[in-house]
A and B are shown apart, each in its own frame.
Chain A
Amino acid sequence: MTDIEMLEPSVEPDRQIDRSRQYVTFLVDDRSYGVDIKLVREIKQWSPTTGLPNQARYTRGVLNLRGTIVPVHDLRARFGGDLTNAAENHVVVIVWIGDKTVGILVDAVSDIISIATDDIRPVPPGQQTGDATIISGLVSSDEDMVALLNLDALFPFSVGGTL
């Protein structure tokens, strides 16, 4: 009996931690987006990229991240907006998508927030048609709404090329 009593208090806080996750939030056109902090590798100031031929419009090219070549995608363009007129005050969030390292160009990084899993609301169906899966959930924070990004769906990799 004592064993169980000993166990119970220690289990409870663990679960609490497990239930809430930390997200890095950033801004594009004054809208907030969030990415699980565990997927964020680093945050970098924008520097000009090398363009790639015949790629999706939102792919801004590649940059040199300490010897590895990392593609950079423009989040604003990905959501159908114009290409960001990137300058030094823009930020590239380097994230992991699966085993790949990818940069996401955003306007600014705003915060790191803790969100209880229970507080994540589903995206209302039918609102965004094709893009529904790229947002995995919505969270209210400080009277602002944060859209949590599903990175795998946002920047899928077409495996191999044709030809």
Chain B
Amino acid sequence: MEEDEDYQSLFFTECHELLADLQDHLDLLSQGGGDGETVNAAFRAVHSVKGGAAAFGFDQLISFAHVFETVMDKVRSNRLELTEEIGNVLLRAGDVMEQLVENAQNGSDATPDNLKKVLSELEEIGDLDPQTATGGAAPEVVATAAAPEADTEETELLTRELVFSLTPGPDFFSSGHDPLRLFRAARAHNLIEVRATGEVPDIDAFDPDICPLSWELVFETEVPLADIRAFFEIYDATAEIRLLTEEEEPATPEVPSEPVALAEAESKPTAPTAERPPSAEPAEDQPTQQEATQQRTTVISKSLRVELARIDRLVNLVGEMLITQAGLAQRLTEDEKTEDLDLGHSVDAMSRQLRELQESVMAIRAQSVKSVFSRMPRVVRDLSDKLGKEARLELAGEHTEVDTTVIEELAEPLTHMLRNSMDHGIEGPEQRIALGKPKVGTITLSAEHRGERVIIVIEDDGQGIDRDRVLQKAVERGLVSEDEPPSPEEIDQLIFHPGFSTAAEVSSVSGRGVGMDVVKKKIQQLGGRCTVRNHPGKGASFTITLPLTLAVMDGMTITTGGQQFVLPLSSVVEAVRLENCQLRQLPDDSTLVERRGEYLKLISLRRVLGMPDGQGGNSMAIIVDTETSGLVALQVDDLIGQRQVVLKSLEANFQRVEGVSGATILGDGHVALILDIPALLTLSGGCPQPQELVH
């Protein structure tokens, strides 16, 4: 059913959020921080995942979550002291649960490798009996539910009728429950009849969020009462559930008619009001949990889940409007007859408002990098196990916001870089102690805003890049010649060379033929750069700079060879008229331009772009920051001005063009290319005469 799939995907999205929160809470707790509320929050996360899993029947997940929950419950009720060791087990349990959720999402039945191990660890610390612990959701209920029924369960194996009344509370729907879904799930427990009771109130008093009805569910089953109770457990917090049949009584055909009256009498007054007698709750801890759930729902209702596609449509529309507005403004300036100042003011105001609108829309898409960062500790923990190394991941600046489109693409390169740090950077524990370093290595993953870009740094305190080995390998592969040894920094850059991998032997972690070059390529596709700084013996740090968004940017429009181009404003330092500058010729025919006592290389944009060396123009130099090799002067014909441009992809209908990061549409409807300055200069700088220029 499509609807089911919708709910499922919602469940999975929620699961990922819950699990990310869980990891945060557990992290805090295992470091000795946090308070009772942190424990509660962690417990609730596990509980909610379990509840959802139960609704969809993911058995493996349910039974694991159940054990996990039981242990968390012990921590919560102070029956179990949270030591660092226990904290670690819980963190791993969180990882396993994440894996199980992923498996459920992919429809795979695979058992995560360490499920058994973690499960037994959980059982050990929680002092649980493995037999009952794995047996489904029942044990907890046996342990905590009110006692009266418990005695009779063992003997009661006859098929009999059990009638439950279910009265949804005010939070029932907002917690994501659906009576129909409940009934369907109840069929698995031999539900034979459902009767609705209660009355629909007058239309003016009707609140669609509150269910005016309650139901009676008749089960005909031989299973112990506790199993049925366990089934209802997940609804406990948001609905009132009562057993209407007396357990001792054998099933009689009259039973159905009797409870109807009973249920009506009881449920009617309670249903519309939020008051539920706490005494009716089976477990002593339910009231607090209920409050907590209520709290949580109010928090959630302040945010809104919107499909990304809808926001994208909005972003595109705003983009189109910016183009139209630019066209209007251009028309207005061209039309000299227009002396109408008011019109000009209006267009200016519109431009400001549009910009604000666009910023607001982009803010909707902005997401904190936390959603990616929070997945990373797990990567490091997994690798610690696999490689027999000890490392801790420290996160900083997780709340830095970046456009969703960028975030989605970040996980893969970051994972890869962490793998790289773990595999090649961090030494084994003995080696570290021998080197006088702390036994546990530290990897820092941080993010911060700098201007229009976001900077992500991955730093480790390992051995750094082994330059001798890199060089040896590069020579072996013929990447560099032995006679002209590259500078140490150049050696460091070699790790980004396609197909380069320094792992001495192919391990399952890295060295699968994909290396840092893939990372670099991916980052470049996002319009970012990736650099490395190596401190041999002390560690390495990788810096990724990314644009905040892939949709809009500030640009400087210039013309060269009769065509307009846009340079990213973030890389433009200044513009100078060449007639005011001292030009120097070098023996190799390259030109230098003097700028306040400093010599910069002057590069003709026409030549770089393979345009004919035309007459005229060439009057301006735009000084740009290449980020990697300092400032460079770009020779262009003329400067038009600064403007905001909407990025359009060339790849959508064509292919990647070297030196061009995308295109935009100008106010007159023409296309202008957005130049990727560092890439352009690799085209021109690396080899003196780039490509064969066919005119």
Whether the Cβ atoms of A54 and B610 lie closer than 8 Å is: yes
Whether the Cβ atoms of B679 and A70 lie closer than 8 Å is: no
Does chain B have a CB within 8 A of A71? Answer: yes
Does chain A have a CB within 8 A of B504? Answer: no
For the complex of A and B, list the 9 residue pairs with the smallest distance between their C-beta atoms, beginning with the closest: A161-B656, A53-B609, A50-B671, A71-B654, A100-B653, A69-B663, A101-B653, A69-B648, A64-B665
Whether the Cβ atoms of A63 and B671 lie closer than 8 Å is: yes
> If A62-B663, A67-B320 touch, does A50 touch B672 (CB 8 Å cutoff)?
yes
B663 partner residues in chain A, CB cutoff 8 A: 50, 62, 69
A55 partner residues in chain B, CB cutoff 8 A: 657
Q: Write the chain B residue with the least CB distance to A71.
A: B654
B316 partner residues in chain A, CB cutoff 8 A: 67
Does chain B have a CB within 8 A of A68? Answer: yes
Whether the Cβ atoms of A54 and B691 lie closer than 8 Å is: yes
Interface residues of A in 34-73 (CB under 8 A from B): 48-55, 57, 61-64, 67-71
Alpha-carbon distance A68/B669, docked complex (angstroms): 11
B86 partner residues in chain A, CB cutoff 8 A: none
B551 partner residues in chain A, CB cutoff 8 A: none
| B interface residues, Cβ below 8 angstroms from A | 316, 320, 323, 563-564, 608-611, 648-650, 652-660, 663, 665, 669-673, 679, 682-683, 690-691, 694
| A interface residues, Cβ below 8 angstroms from B | 48-55, 57, 61-64, 67-71, 100-102, 157-163
Alpha-carbon distance A64/B608, docked complex (angstroms): 24
- Cross-interface CB contact of A50 among B673, B682, B690, cutoff 8 Å: B673
Whether the Cβ atoms of A69 and B649 lie closer than 8 Å is: yes
Most A-side CB within 10 Å, residue of B316, B608, B654, B670? B654
Q: How many A-B residue pairs have CB under 8 A?
A: 87
A101 partner residues in chain B, CB cutoff 8 A: 653
Alpha-carbon distance A158/B654, docked complex (angstroms): 9
B649 partner residues in chain A, CB cutoff 8 A: 69
B672 partner residues in chain A, CB cutoff 8 A: 50
Whether the Cβ atoms of B652 and A100 lie closer than 8 Å is: yes
A160 partner residues in chain B, CB cutoff 8 A: 655-656
B665 partner residues in chain A, CB cutoff 8 A: 64, 67, 69
B563 partner residues in chain A, CB cutoff 8 A: 50-51
- Cross-interface CB contact of B657 among A54, A68, A70, A159, cutoff 8 Å: A54
What is the minimal beta-carbon distance from A61 to any residue of chain B, in angstroms? 8
Whether the Cβ atoms of B694 and A57 lie closer than 8 Å is: yes
> If A53-B610, A63-B671 touch, does A100 touch B320 (CB 8 Å cutoff)?
no
Whether the Cβ atoms of A64 and B682 lie closer than 8 Å is: no
A67 partner residues in chain B, CB cutoff 8 A: 316, 320, 323, 648, 665
B653 partner residues in chain A, CB cutoff 8 A: 68-71, 100-102
What is the minimal beta-carbon distance from A39 to any residue of chain B, in angstroms? 14
What is the minimal beta-carbon distance from A63 to any residue of chain B, in angstroms? 6
What is the minimal beta-carbon distance from B504 to any residue of chain A, in angstroms? 28
Whether the Cβ atoms of B656 and A100 lie closer than 8 Å is: no
